[in-house]
Structure 1
Amino acid sequence: MQPDNFKNEFFGIGIQNGKTPENLGVLWRSAQNLGASFIFTIGKRYAKQASDTHNAVHSMPYYHYDNFQDFKTHLPKGVRIVGVELDENAASLETFEHPRRCVYLLGAEDHGLSKDAIKESHFLVQFSSTFSLNVAVAGSIVMYDRTRQKSRS
C-alpha cells in the first residue's frame, strides 16, 4: 500500500501480553512524541508507573482488549495490522512502506506475537538486529521509521 502522502492517516501502537509495565510506559511516551493516535494492550492491563512521565495514557486514547480476537473485532474499518516480529516471512522495515491507517502490534519480549496475531497480520515487519530488542525500543524504532518515511513523501 502506498503512503499516499499520509493524507487522512492515523496509527496506533500496542503490545500483546506485555511483560512489564515499565516497557508500556516507555513505549507510550514514545507514541505520544512520534504522533500515534492511540495506544492499546491485548491481554495484561496497563498500570501507571514512573516510566510514563508524560502521562501519555491521559493524553491520547487508550484501549484494552482481553484477547487477540477481541482486538481484531474492534479495529476500525480499513485499518491494517502491522505485526512487528522476527519471522522468516517479515519484510524489512528499511524498505517497508507504512500503510496510511494501521496499528503496529508488538509482542512481549519473552514470547513475541501469538500465532493468531502473526497469521492475521496484514503485514509483518522486522529490522536489522543481531538480537531481539526490548519491546519499547522496537516500537520506538518502527514509529520513528514511519515519521522518517512521512517526511520523505
Structure 2
Amino acid sequence: MSETGVPHEGEQYDDAFAPAPDGREIGVGPHPEPWPAGDHLDRELLAGGDRRNVVDRYRYWTREAIVADLDTRRHGFHVAVENWQHDFNIGSVVRTANAFLAEQVHIVGRRRWNRRGAMVTDRYQHVRHHDSVASLAAFAAERGLPVIGIDNLPGAVPIETFELPERCVLLFGQEGPGLTEEAWRHSAAVCSIAQFGSTRSINAGAAAAIAMHAWVRVHGGAGGRPVGEPAVS
C-alpha cells in the first residue's frame, strides 16, 4: 500500500478479519436500531457490523475519526527502522508502535516495506519515509528529538538502566546486521537489551517491542490514556 492508501501492485489488505478457527465471529454485529448519532460513526459499519481489529472504544467509528482521536493523545516517542533489504519485521514494528501509541513511525531506506505483519494497523499510524539516516537525523534535530539507537553493540548502555528521554526517536537496524555505521554515528546514545541465552541477537520486531515498553514504563502516563474504555453507545 502506498502512503496515499492505495495498494501497491500485488498487495491487498482489508480491515476485516476472518472468523476465528473455532467458528467464533470477530468483532460485533450490526448495531441495534435506533442508531446512535455522531459524525464519528460509520453508517455502513452500524448496518453491517464491525469486524475490524480495533478496541471496543472504536467500534463503529470511521477510520478518520479513530486517527483523529489517537492524534489527541499520542506519546512523545517516534520509532524508526532501517529498511535496506525489505525487512519482513517492519510490519510487526508498525503494529507494536500502534499498540504503544507512538507519535510516528519512520521507514529509513527503501520506500516499500512488507505490510502484512502490520495487520492494517498502518492505517491508524502515521508512517513517514526517509531515503537516508541523515534525513531522519535532520528531521529529529529540527524537533529537538534525540535519536536513541537500539542494538547490542560494543559500548552500548543497557536499556534496563538507561533513562529514555520523554521525547525521542527509537532507531532500530535491519534484521541481521543491525544498526548501520551511519545510524550509530547519528545516535545520541545506543542501548542494548539484556540477553541470557546462546543467540547473539533477538528478532528486530521483538527488540522494538521491548524498547517501546521500556519507554512506556517510564513515561506512559504523561501522554495518552489506556484504551480499555467502554464502547461508545
Give the TM-score category using the shorter length: 0.7 to 0.9
Query: Gaps (5+ residues) in structure 1?
Result: 1-7
Tell me which residue corresponds to 2:131.
66
The structure where helix makes up a greater share of residues is 1
**Contact between 2:81 and 2:171, CA under 8 Å: does it hold in 1?**
yes
Cross-structure match for 2:208 = 139
In the aligned structure 2, how far is the partner of 1:78 from the partner of 1:70?
14
How do 1:4-153 and structure 2 match up within 5 A? 10-17=76-83, 19-47=85-113, 49-53=115-119, 55-75=120-140, 76-129=142-195, 130=197, 131-150=200-219
Distance 2:194 2:81 in 1: 20
Gaps (5+ residues) in structure 2?
Answer: 1-73, 223-233
Q: Which has the higher strand share?
A: 1
- Give the root-mean-square deviation of aligned CA atoms: 2.1
1:97-131 Cα offsets, whole Å, 9 max, x none, are 11011001000122211112112211110011142
- The alignment covers a number of residue pairs equal to 145
Give identity over the alignment, percent. Answer: 24
Q: Secondary structure at the match of 2:170?
A: strand
> CA offset at residue 14 of structure 1?
1.8
Specify the SS of the correspondent of 1:22: coil
Q: In terms of Rg, which structure is larger? A: 2
Please report how far the alpha carbon of residue 21 of structure 1 lies from its aligned counterpart in structure 2 after TM superposition.
Answer: 4.7
Gap change, CA 1:151 and 1:32, over 3 Å in 2: closer
Distance 1:48-1:20 versus aligned 2 partners, 3 A rule: closer
Structure with greater contact order relative to length (CA < 8 Å, sep ≥ 6): 1
